[in-house]
């Protein structure tokens, strides 16, 4: 099964957070990096966010769009882009300004850290917000450490529970970085 087609606990936690904070963020422009099945996107749309979803795989975008539409009646704007590549960063850069950026379980390899720090630095410098859900992988932990060293500030929310379906029991930490 491709990674994007798995209901990861981090995506479920980020979805739960989007719904819990709908009053504060409803109507806001948002973009999800690495949308996967559309679990987080569905909750974000339900919470009233005006959402662009991005991923590197066209089938992922199609699946996400279908799930959001089927479950909420809302449409999301798809964007085929790889945030790790120079071209993908160019495509995403303008769309990230002054937005809420959502990402869950996107940091797998050490070489993923710097491109995401660079890209999201644009978001925070322009008045945006970045929410990252991660399960405590070494790469995610390193990313958060470097982000804080660069002056990124925000709260961390821990969620630990048995998630629905095959996602199982997991601890997820959500990092909510605000604009600088």
Task: Read off the pTM.
Answer: 0.94
* Whole-number Å distance between alpha carbons of 145 and 160: 21
Summarize the confidence of residues 78-100 as an average pLDDT.
91
> What would the pLDDT profile of 42-74 be if each residue is shown by its tens digit?
999 999 999 999 999 999 999 999 999 999 999
Measuring CA to CA, which residue among 81, 140, 102, 120 is closest to residue 11? 102
The count of other CB atoms within 10 Å of the CB of residue 55 is: 24
* Whole-number Å distance between alpha carbons of 147 and 156: 13
- Find out whether 104 and 53 touch, Cβ atoms under 8 Å: no
pLDDT at 17: 96
- Find out whether 135 and 141 touch, Cβ atoms under 8 Å: no
Q: Is the pLDDT of residue 177 over 70?
A: yes
Q: Is 3-177 CATH 2.40.160.20?
A: no
Q: Which residue ranges make up each domain of the chain?
A: 3-177
Helix (H, G, I), strand (E, B) or coil at 123: helix
């Amino acid at each position: 099964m491709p990674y994007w087609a798995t209901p990861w606990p981090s995506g479920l936690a980020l979805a739960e957070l989007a719904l819990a904070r709908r009053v504060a963020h409803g109507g806001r422009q948002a973009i999800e990096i690495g949308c996967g099945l559309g679990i987080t996107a569905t909750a974000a749309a339900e919470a009233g966010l005006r959402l662009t979803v991005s991923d590197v795989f066209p089938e992922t975008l199609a699946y996400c769009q279908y799930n959001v539409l089927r479950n909420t009646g809302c449409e999301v704007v798809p964007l085929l882009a790889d945030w790790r590549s120079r071209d993908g960063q160019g495509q995403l850069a303008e769309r990230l300004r002054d937005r809420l950026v959502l990402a869950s379980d996107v940091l797998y390899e050490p070489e993923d850290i710097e491109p995401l720090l660079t890209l999201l630095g644009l978001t925070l410098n322009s008045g945006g917000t970045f929410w990252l859900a991660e399960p405590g992988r070494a790469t995610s932990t390193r990313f958060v450490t470097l982000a804080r060293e660069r002056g990124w500030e925000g709260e961390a929310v821990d969620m630990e529970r048995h998630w629905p379906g095959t996602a199982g029991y997991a601890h997820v930490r959500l990092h909510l970085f605000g604009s600088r």
